[in-house]
Chain A
Amino acid sequence: MENGYRSYHPYVQFLYYLCVSILAMYFNHPLFLIIACILMVFVNISHDGGRALRKWGLVLIVMSMIIIVLNPFLVSRGTNILFYFRDKQVTLEATIYGITMSLSLVIVLIMFVSFNLVLNGNRFLFIFSKVLPRTAFLIMLAIRFVPLLNRRLEEIGMVHRIRGMSMTEGSIRERAKIGMLRIQLLLTLSLEEAIQTADSMKARGYGIGKKSSYIPYKMEKRDWGWLLTLVLLFLICIVGGSLGYGKIQIYPELGTLHFFLLDWILFVCMISIFSFPLIAEGREKLRWIYLK
């Protein structure tokens, strides 16, 4: 039994990720993005202590550094000139833009790390099974075939090794040829069996009526509550953003970074959306402590 944030309905989780990714690309005020980024890191830590994120850490840091450093040198738009580099102007605007852009990208990528942890396999497919039932079924079948084919590939590889056909030595041409030969063997082996799978599906009535499936997820009261809350907060953010709050003007001249009243309201809304998993986990922890 899963608990905390992971026990919420996949729809709610999916909506959360949707809101996060859209807002991360929607706002461009540096303070909004920095706080959002920090919150996403905490969300990842709340999942598994940040283990999955650590694998990505170096890539993310290097990538954002490259964007931040390269952007002002590649782009010379903007009015506030910091200095000249080889007769090209390096502007404050381009630097700020590089920072906001890399932050947006980093938030989205961190979000996907969390996405892969929480909405994996079945949950991911469950979301699409209502909209695109046949496609979801096809994907599910394909995913089921992957471990099977993997095992077959290993067997084929062992037979090949006994016959002296190795993937680890020889020229790239030969290795590629042997690799492809293995996949061809896999194809002939699997196609015939796919027909058998299909026949047994047919024998059990596939295609006669609507496909029913076991659904281990149920929308409960708290799921509805969070669904509505997220939608409401998200709408506020979108409307506020379309009025220009939570955003700064970068080109041609950097606008003000000042926070107006509405900026603060949007800021709070955004923080509440981003910290949904943290609130869910925290509530569970508190309840555990008080029940003991």
Chain B
Amino acid sequence: MARSRTYLLIVSVIIFILLITAFVFFQYNAYLLMSLVIIACIMIPFFARFELKKIKGREVVILAILAAIAAIGRVPFAGLPSVQPTSFVIIVTGLVFGSESGFIVGAVAAIVSNIFLGQGPWTPWQMFAWGMMGMSAGLLRNIWFMRKVWGQCIFGFIWGYLFGWLMNLWIVTSNIENFTWEFFVSIYVSSIYHDLAHALSNVFFLVVFSVSWVKIMNHFKRKYGLLEG
């Protein structure tokens, strides 16, 4: 279990660095295309692990229902712009069921919600961003500050911004030949408020609901012996 966790961490970090360096150093034209290919390559190890792991039918169904809840969570919040509980559900899943489940639920939630909202070049980026959110929550779950609500809140706040920044990258990478810092800054400045709303809603949900959600999921985990490790 410990080995698989370090493996995940190392693979994701290395490939993410490769992604960045590839953009900076290589003279290449189709950046958006290349970024999508690299994103796909980053996610392959995770999906491969999920495919090859021994996993019970119950666990597959639980993951599916969590991903569906994360995807559908946007519905009751349709009237509240940029407040959506998807990130919260993914973080809590990572906290309770571990990094691999967190990644799978995040990535699948992105696909499922986009099947209804429309796929686009942003789908792989969303899969990656939400997948990483779930994975990092799972990786950090045994560290002392993630057991405290305030630690989770800081985590959720940071991810509110990280998510927005990762999603901005798809606009930046489709336009990198033209890259100027002004352009870069203008995109990131224009998303500040949206990201802030995302970050604050994460914090709000984590403050009010993380204890009860963790309790509910832990109860199921222990009762049925699901997804341990």
Closest residue of B by beta carbon distance from A186: B69
Binding site secondary structure of chain B: helix
- Complex CA distance for A172 and B134, rounded to whole angstroms: 26
Q: Check if A191 is an interface residue, CB within 8 A of chain B.
A: yes
How far apart are B88's CB and chain A's nearest CB, in angstroms? 8
Per the 8 Å Cβ criterion, residues 63-97 of B in contact with A are 63-65, 67-69, 71-73, 75-77, 79-80, 83, 85, 88-89
Please state if B182 and A74 are interface contacts (CB–CB under 8 Å).
Answer: yes
Query: With A121-B115, A139-B111, A167-B76 in contact, is A105–B50 under 8 Å at CB?
Result: no
Please state if A116 and B118 are interface contacts (CB–CB under 8 Å).
Answer: yes
Please state if A197 and B61 are interface contacts (CB–CB under 8 Å).
Answer: yes
How far apart are A85's CB and chain B's nearest CB, in angstroms? 14
Q: Give a binary string over A3-32; 1 marks a CB under 8 Å from any B CB, 0 the rest.
A: 000000000000000000110011010000
Q: Check if A285 is an interface residue, CB within 8 A of chain B.
A: no
Closest residue of B by beta carbon distance from A157: B76
Among the listed A97, A101, A146, A199, which residue makes an inter-chain contact with B174, where contact means beta carbons less than 8 Å apart?
Answer: A101
Please state if A146 and B104 are interface contacts (CB–CB under 8 Å).
Answer: no
Please state if B62 and A191 are interface contacts (CB–CB under 8 Å).
Answer: yes
Among the listed B50, B69, B111, B205, which residue makes an inter-chain contact with A190, where contact means beta carbons less than 8 Å apart?
Answer: B69
Binding site secondary structure of chain A: helix
Query: With A22-B33, A176-B83 in contact, is A206–B71 under 8 Å at CB?
Result: no
Please state if A112 and B76 are interface contacts (CB–CB under 8 Å).
Answer: no
Q: Interface size class for chain A?
A: 35 or more
How far apart are B214's CB and chain A's nearest CB, in angstroms? 11
Closest residue of A by beta carbon distance from B213: A184
Q: Check if A276 is an interface residue, CB within 8 A of chain B.
A: no
Among the listed A94, A120, A153, A157, which residue makes an inter-chain contact with B72, where contact means beta carbons less than 8 Å apart?
Answer: A153
Residues of B within 8 A of A179 (CB): 76-77, 80, 85
Residues of B within 8 A of A172 (CB): 80, 83
Chain B residues within 8 Å of A, Cβ to Cβ: 29-30, 32-33, 47, 50-51, 55-58, 60-65, 67-69, 71-73, 75-77, 79-80, 83, 85, 88-89, 104, 108-109, 111-112, 115-116, 118-121, 174-175, 177-178, 180, 182-183, 186, 201, 204-205, 208-209, 212-213, 216-217, 220, 224
- 17 example contacts (A-B, Cβ-Cβ < 8 A) are as follows A97-B177, A108-B32, A113-B118, A120-B115, A134-B60, A135-B50, A146-B116, A150-B75, A175-B79, A179-B76, A182-B76, A183-B85, A184-B216, A191-B220, A194-B58, A201-B61, A250-B177
Chain A residues within 8 Å of B, Cβ to Cβ: 21-22, 25-26, 28, 67, 71, 74-75, 77, 94, 97, 101, 104-105, 108-109, 112-113, 115-116, 120-121, 124, 132-135, 137-139, 141-143, 145-146, 149-150, 153, 157, 167-168, 172-173, 175-177, 179-180, 182-184, 186-188, 190-191, 194-195, 197-199, 201-202, 206-207, 247, 250-251
